[in-house]
Structure 1
Amino acid sequence: MIPATGAMWRRGHIVSEITHSQTLVNLPPTTAAVLSRNRANIAVYAAIGAEPGVAVALEDLISDEQLRVESFNRRVLEPLDLGRILAIRVEDKLTGLCTEIALFRSLDDPPFGSEAKYLLARAAPLMTAAATQSYFLNAARPTARHWNRPTALVDSEGRVYHAQDSFLSMIQKHFPSWRGGPLPFDIPDDTMRSEITVGRLTVFVEVDKDLAYVRIWERGALERLTDREREIADAIASGRSYKSVARDLDISPSTVSNHLQRIYTKLAVSSRDELASLVNSGAD
């Protein structure tokens, strides 16, 4: 869409400026490190940080004549054959993520101009959304447990690196005060795989090197029961008597009755028939 001699895609966090990933296209491998060390001296990065969603060209901020005589250009940009930069920053305030897309040309090439800025501003949000969708299509391995649940990729502190819209919607539904940043619950880090309950959500965590997949779903009615309550519910729903269940579990019939009242309350049912219907329907 926009002719350029090279490009760079950087994804990180808005506040901390932690870089999650960088992709270079037709640029020397050292380019990302050099530009990262010198960000404060490259005016275009300050400009896109001040106005996310707006494509900015370096020629809008400094003339070619000035750039040619600046020591910074001769020391940093010129050796990389970078004289013209067109960049944009796409921010997601909810997750705290930002994506920067930068296109480069030599100073001897034509300026990027207004059409290039317009095209990049239109394309960048779509490219960012497509990249996230592509990531999760690859991550949704049918061999992984709960692969089809709403998913996010987070670090050990719960900061989101990628997230499906369905994941963010569910988090907001159950934690209305969440405004981005680390997830509103702790991520287990002592096992490769773990499943925890957070309110009415089931959270499955699968560690992948330094990051973790977090998959969430709303707990079904029967998942609200304790193991003992589920055991009693299954038995009573099958038509067994209090005495029979009590004998097998080595508890008194009155204890079975007390458990059953709590089961009825949790499941919002009021009879054996309603309980049996729920259990047999596989509502969990």
Structure 2
Amino acid sequence: MDDLQRLVSRLYRSGVERPAEDFQRWALQQLKAVVPHDAAVWGMGHAERGQFHNVKVFGLDQAFAKALQEWRDHNPLYPRLADSDGIPMDMRDAVPDARFYRSEIYRKCFRPFGVERILSSGHMDPRCGLYTLLSLYRFDRDQPFSEADRQHFRVAAFHMVHACSHNFFLHLARPASEHSERPAAVADGRGVLHEAEPEFIALLAKHVPDWQGMHLPEAIAGRIGTESRFAVEDLCVEVQPLSDIFLLRIWEETPLDRLTVREREVVQAVSRGLSHKEAGRELGLAPTTVSSHLYRAYAKLGVASRSELARLVHGMP
């Protein structure tokens, strides 16, 4: 197994043990064994040319991120990255060295931080516009990135982006929930996506065919922060606050989703074989109250016995 294969394996196998806030730094450290670099930037946001909501700088002062933003419209790499999804671009692809080292962007943006060589890769999900930018930097002008560096970075960057998203949802977006296994996404209060699992995007596209872009459909976005659970286009949506952003889970509506929370609790208890009295003790309800909830649940689900209920709940043939 070569260094690149070992890197990809570590990203998925060892990466899950890393705290989400440390994953990017750790992954870039692992990358150094394959593509040596002195510093890096990992930006996440949307495909609206440089609109990042999260930019992390490694090996450089954080002020470098501000300088990059200020000189964004003058950066000759950005247009090429926008048209080359996943293909690494060296600054030499955009402008010859002689012109770059005489340029104002080099003198005012890169040289003050010691950046001499640049290799960048942009990754966009075209279904929702989520965008990730990875840039590697070297401080020695006499050590340009090679063609082998470029090819290794292309493979590594693809897996770094996907492993980072997996790590994020595994560690940050999995609070205790009845539906913790459902496809998830993170959005702000305006309904702008910050992260999304592929299954989330696929379900949304299936049930809201005219939806596209980084903003969630208004039927969902308009209810973020005001409702914890609702239905849209045969989809169930669960919303949970995560500091100043929100975790959303979606799944296709099932008959059980038509029940109230208490009715679902009663159905789950009874379908496990508990008697009305045992279910009541577990849920803190009187047996007669259990019976009332179960009666209403039977009517909504179209079942008439415990065996039918168990088959529905547990998917029995």
Range class of TM-score, shorter chain: 0.7 to 0.9
Q: Secondary structure at the match of 1:197?
A: strand
Is 2:137 the counterpart of 1:104? yes
CA 181–278 in structure 1, closer or farther in 2 if over 3 Å, else same? farther
Q: Secondary structure at the match of 2:36?
A: coil
Contact 2:225–2:241 (8 Å) recurs in 1: no
Distance 1:38 1:109 in 2: 25
CA 119–212 in structure 1, closer or farther in 2 if over 3 Å, else same? same
1:61 corresponds to: 94
Unaligned residue ranges in structure 2 (runs of 5+): 1-33, 268-274, 276-287, 289-294
Residue of structure 1 aligned with 2:249, choices 205, 215, 218: 215
Residue of structure 1 aligned with 2:215, choices 169, 176, 182: 182
CA 19–71 in structure 1, closer or farther in 2 if over 3 Å, else same? closer
Q: 60-69 vs 146-155, which deviates more?
A: 60-69
| Larger gyration radius, structure 1 or structure 2 | 1
Please list the CA deviations of residues 83-135 of structure 1 after superposition, one character each: whole Å capped at 9, or x if unmatched: 21111111100121111110111252321121111112222221111010000
Distance 2:175 2:108 in 1: 50
Contact 2:220–2:232 (8 Å) recurs in 1: no
Is 2:308 the counterpart of 1:278? yes
Residue of structure 1 aligned with 2:59, choices 20, 26, 30: 26
Alignment of 1:194-273 (within 5 A): 194-224=228-258, 267=301, 272=304
Q: 64-73 vs 24-33, which deviates more?
A: 64-73
Shift of 1:30: 0.6
Q: 154-163 vs 95-104, which deviates more?
A: 154-163
Is 2:67 the counterpart of 1:37? no
Q: Which amino acid aligns with 1:210?
A: D
Distance 1:116 1:76 in 2: 24
Distance 1:157 1:176 in 2: 21
Shift of 1:223: 2.9
Number of equivalenced pairs: 255
Q: 209-218 vs 168-177, which deviates more?
A: 168-177
Counting aligned pairs with the same residue, the percent is 30
Is 2:184 the counterpart of 1:151? yes
Distance 1:96 1:34 in 2: 24
